[in-house]
Amino acid sequence: MHDDHEHHHGHDHDHGHDNRYTDMQARVRALETVLTQKGLIDPKAVDAIVETYETKIGPKNGARVVAKAWSDPAFSDWLKADATAAIASLGYTGRQGEHMRAVFNTADTHNLIVCTLCSCYPWAVLGLPPTWYKAPAYRSRAVIDPRGVLAEFGLALSKETKIRVWDSTAELRYLVVPERPAGTEGLDEPALAALVSRDAMIGTAVAGVPS
Amino acid sequence: MNGPHDLGGQMGFGPVAPESNEPYFHADWERRALGLTLSCGAFGAWTIDESRHARENIPPACYLSASYYEIWTRALEVLLERHGFATSAEIASGTNQIEPAVPKRILKAEMVAGVLSKGGPCDRPLETRPVFAAGDRVRTKNFNPETHTRLPRYARAKTGVVEAVQGAFVFPDDNAHGKGENPQWVYTVVFDAAEIWGEGADPTLTVSIDAWESYLERF
């Protein structure tokens, strides 16, 4: 059910899902038509919102924050003490990033972010959440079986590693700062940022290694 | 409410199945659903807490089989009708039939960048001092309200430790129901997995929630 998107890539056709997507297409179109007729919405504003989240706000923002934290100890300290202000200094503010907290992985603790109650996610630094983050499998299991969840992402932590799961039940939004990979001493911030995936900043991955 | 949204610890949903190179949207209607939800939020007629509660009230069988943009859309329809902007008959037919309520604001294209970069902070000044401090042992409330709450079922009547005082924030349990913002102190409270899940819990696991002060009592 939550792999609906699969059907749009040509796998496993299930006509129940196709019908559901067709129904939603009609439903949302009718909604937009009525609201536009009433003068309550500006379809160009809808376009502008979509364009913002498709092209301007995404995990590259968060990767730049992490790369700077790796490179600049003063920034790292600031990020630990006041993540909202430190992140705003790079120009990332606003919706679903109003109250930020950065949590740092260490040699013995791995952090994982979830919202069991809805889909809270740090949009200002990571953009819109992936489908799996909002779906029941992840939301139900992250808090009880995080190792099982991480294994599904191909991440096997050592048995001794402590796992801290942060359930975003209030208005704080969490960004995981993964550990800086070995062998990256000579890299500048853009090269470091390229090693930081969206999943590494949710906690379902670790940072990549330089190729 | 003990709705379908309160998923922590439930079982049977299968593997997570991450998608490589996932696009932001899997159908064009999802784009419009995002834009419409944010545009209508700008009316100023309901709060984020009321919209969350509208999503939680989607019947469980529907909620659990819907994509998240479908959940948003269904809740938006409820909010639009409740606040007098559009009826379900209008939405079903795609035709305008009633004179809508007057929104506080209509989001125009040129306002979008400013509105998104400003966001909607929900921290509030509070005269009272926080009751708890980092290091305090606390027990969460045992309750089952039919109304909105952000204390998940798995974390009720559990003992944990306050890790941080995070500031004072709008209280969603009241705000979702038009009872005012009534801000309270919010704390990050950490639980050992064994306290939450009991027998067989992962000994390396701790879980934290962010809890409003009235969810907690000193232990």
Contact residues on chain B for A127, CB-CB shorter than 8 A: 24
Q: Is B18 helix (H, G, I), strand (E, B) or coil?
A: coil
Q: Which of A32, A57, A204 sits opposite B36 (nearest CB)?
A: A32
Residue A16 has a pLDDT of 57
B122 has pLDDT over 70: yes
How far apart, in whole angstroms, are the C-alpha atoms of residue A105 and residue A203? Answer: 9
In the predicted model, what is the mean pLDDT of residues B189-218? 98
As for the ipTM of the complex, it is 0.98
Residue of B173, B206, B158 whose CA lies nearest to B56: B173
Q: Which of A11-25, A186-200, B76-90, B116-130 shows the lowest mean pLDDT across its residues?
A: A11-25
Q: How confident is the model at residue A2 (pLDDT cuts 50, 70, 90)?
A: very low
> Under a CB-based contact definition with an 8 Å cutoff, are residues A133 and A202 in contact?
yes
Residue of A163, A142, A153, A162 whose CA lies nearest to A199: A153
A8 has pLDDT over 50: no
pLDDT in tens, A124-162: 999 999 999 999 999 999 999 999 999 999 999 999 999
Q: Write a three-state SS string for B129-195.
A: CCCCCCCCEEEECCCCCCCCCCCCHHHCCCEEEEEEEEEEECCHHHHCCCCCCCCEEEEEEEEEHHH
What residues does CATH 3.90.330.10 cover in chain A?
58-202
A1 has pLDDT over 60: no
How far apart, in whole angstroms, are the C-alpha atoms of residue A159 and residue A65? Answer: 29
In the predicted model, what is the mean pLDDT of residues B158-173? 98
Residue A10 has a pLDDT of 38
In the beta sheet, which residues pair with residue A104? A177
Q: Which of A21, A50, A99 sits opposite B31 (nearest CB)?
A: A50
- Type and span of the H or E element at B26: none
More confident residue, A16 or A1: A16
Residue of A178, A108, A186, A50 whose CA lies nearest to B31: A50
CB atoms within 10 A of CB A161: 15
Query: Which entry of A89, A115, A140, A211 is annotated as an active-site residue?
Result: A115
pLDDT in tens, A173-184: 999 999 999 999
Asked: is A58-202 a CATH 3.90.330.10 domain? The reply is yes
A168 is catalytic: no
In the predicted model, what is the mean pLDDT of residues B142-156? 98
Those residues whose C-beta lies under 8 Å from the C-beta of residue B176, and which sit 6 or more positions away, are B47, B49, B50, B52, B53, B147, B148
Chain B contact probe: residue of A38, A54, A96, A132 with most B CBs at under 10 A: A38
pLDDT in tens, A60-118: 999 999 999 999 999 999 999 999 999 999 999 999 999 999 999 999 999 999 999 99
Contact yes or no for A39 and B106 at CB 8 A? yes
Contact residues on chain B for A102, CB-CB shorter than 8 A: none
DSSP character string of A69-102: HHH-HHHHHHHHH-HHHHHHTTT--STT-SSEEE
> Under a CB-based contact definition with an 8 Å cutoff, are residues B215 and B169 in contact?
no
Residue of A52, A101, A86, A66 whose CA lies nearest to A205: A66
Give the pTM.
0.95
Q: How confident is the model at residue B126 (pLDDT cuts 50, 70, 90)?
A: very high
More confident residue, A17 or A194: A194
Query: Which entry of A118, A158, A197, A211 is annotated as an active-site residue?
Result: A118
A15 has pLDDT over 70: no
Query: Which entry of A71, A76, A89, A119 is annotated as an active-site residue?
Result: A119
Of chain B, the percentage scoring pLDDT greater than 70 comes to 100
Angle CA B207–B209–B210, to nearest 5: 155
In the predicted model, what is the mean pLDDT of residues B182-209? 98
B46's tokens: 């309901």
How far apart, in whole angstroms, are the C-alpha atoms of residue B189 and residue A166? Answer: 10
In the predicted model, what is the mean pLDDT of residues B106-134? 96
A120 is catalytic: yes
Angle between helices A43-51 and A15-37 (to 10 degrees): 130
Q: Which of B7, B67, B188 sits opposite A116 (nearest CB)?
A: B7
Residue A73 has a pLDDT of 98
Beta-carbon pairs below 8 A across chains A and B? 292
A4 has pLDDT over 70: no
Contact yes or no for A31 and B76 at CB 8 A? yes
Enumerate domains of chain B plus CATH numbers.
Answer: 28-118 (1.10.472.20), 137-218 (2.30.30.50)
Those residues whose C-beta lies under 8 Å from the C-beta of residue A52, and which sit 6 or more positions away, are B112, B113, B116
pLDDT in tens, B35-92: 999 999 999 999 999 999 999 999 999 999 999 999 999 999 999 999 999 999 999 9
Chain B contact probe: residue of A28, A152, A164 with most B CBs at under 10 A: A28
Q: Find the closest chain A residue to B201 by CA distance.
A: A144
A33 has pLDDT over 80: yes
In the predicted model, what is the mean pLDDT of residues B130-152? 98
> Under a CB-based contact definition with an 8 Å cutoff, are residues B212 and B196 in contact?
no
Q: How confident is the model at residue A17 (pLDDT cuts 50, 70, 90)?
A: low
Q: How confident is the model at residue A5 (pLDDT cuts 50, 70, 90)?
A: very low
Residue B110 has a pLDDT of 97
Chain A contact probe: residue of B30, B56, B67, B166 with most A CBs at under 10 A: B67
A119 is catalytic: yes
A158 is catalytic: no
Q: How confident is the model at residue B17 (pLDDT cuts 50, 70, 90)?
A: confident
Residue A145 has a pLDDT of 98
